[in-house]
Amino acid sequence: MTSSPLKPKPSLAPKPRHASERLYGRAKGKPLSPTQIQLMEQLYPKIEIDVSEMGAPLNGLSEFKEVWFEIGFGGSEHLIWKAKHAPDCAVLGAEPFLNGVCKAVTQVDAQDLKNVRLYLGDARRVLELLPDGCLDKVFVLFPDPWPKARHNKRRIITDDFVTEMYRVLKPEGKFRFASDIISYVDWALVRIHNHGGFTYPHKASSDWRARPEDWPSTRYLEKALREGRAGHFFEFIKA
């Protein structure tokens, strides 16, 4: 019997890391449909990232050529596009918003993707359990800008985060970052520059204003463009 769509099981709740360090707002939106709940209860556990111990997030991924990790994948358009176009690469994704994870699970099912692993909760929990030098790419695309000064501490890009990301990337591993909020772009670039472990091969402003061909658009980006905010796209390489 299908569970009530009005009250998902507690197991579907986002897994917190530290409440005092929360980086995101609401954890769920409109109630899930019976079909969505069924997918979350039956398919999601099969593709859920294991965070039981150090190294566990990589369990079952040895067959893949590369391992990528998208942090805060929102509606999952980018994550699903990447997984579909690179079936020989494992695409991990962490997202604290239940409805976003449900959208990803729905697409994994609809497109029969075998290379996607998901985590409903704080991406930092996955990061801290990854061994050194294990990821080929990390994506942080259009993160919540937390524009008010008193909320800046909730931004995902911090000195500690950049250090941790550097740790888990392989030599010459790539970090892609995008934002439509110029103050957040400045914030992120300062912290990445201060770390000193990443190179940025492009020099002209046109390099970060143009979205690369292998970087699909998303509903969030299209909304930003309609509202007059341009996207800024960066790819840094671990030195």
Range of the domain at 108: 35-238
| Domain count within the chain | 1
Q: Who's near 68: CB < 8 A, 6+ residues apart?
A: 82, 86, 89, 90, 91, 92, 135, 136, 137, 138, 139
Structure tokens of 202? 């492009």
pLDDT of residue 216: 93
Q: Does residue 19 fall inside a structural domain?
A: no
Q: Does residue 220 fall inside a structural domain?
A: yes
Q: Does residue 181 fall inside a structural domain?
A: yes
Q: Does residue 70 fall inside a structural domain?
A: yes
Q: How confident is the model at residue 123 (pLDDT cuts 50, 70, 90)?
A: very high
| pTM of the predicted model as reported, rounded to 2 decimal places | 0.86
Q: Would you say 23 and 16 are in contact if contact means Cβ atoms under 8 Å apart?
A: no
Choice among 7-21, 69-83, 86-100 with the minimum mean pLDDT:
7-21
pLDDT of residue 144: 86
pLDDT of residue 206: 78
Task: Using the predicted structure, report yes or no on whether residue 78 has a pLDDT greater than 80.
Answer: yes
Task: Using the predicted structure, report yes or no on whether residue 1 has a pLDDT greater than 60.
Answer: no
- Locus of tokens 């994550």: 79
pLDDT of residue 145: 76
pLDDT of residue 29: 59
pLDDT of residue 4: 35
pLDDT of residue 215: 93
- Compare 87 and 21 and report the one with higher pLDDT: 87
- Compare 202 and 77 and report the one with higher pLDDT: 77
Cite the active site residues. 144
What is the average pLDDT across 120-137? 97
Q: Does residue 15 fall inside a structural domain?
A: no
Q: Does residue 222 fall inside a structural domain?
A: yes
Q: What is the mean pLDDT of the chain?
A: 87
**What are the tens digits of pLDDT across the range 137-194?**
999 999 987 666 665 677 899 999 999 999 999 999 999 999 999 999 999 999 999 9
**What are the tens digits of pLDDT across the range 18-66?**
444 444 444 555 788 999 999 999 999 999 999 999 999 999 999 999 9
172-206 burial code (b ≥16 CB/10 A, e <16): ebbbbbbbbbeebbebbbebbeeeeebeeeeeeee
Q: Does residue 39 fall inside a structural domain?
A: yes
CA 141 – CA 46 distance, rounded (Å) = 26
Smallest CA-to-CA distance from 70 within 89, 46, 42 is with: 89
User: In this structure, what CATH number is given to the domain that contains residue 103?
Assistant: 3.40.50.150
Q: Does residue 2 fall inside a structural domain?
A: no
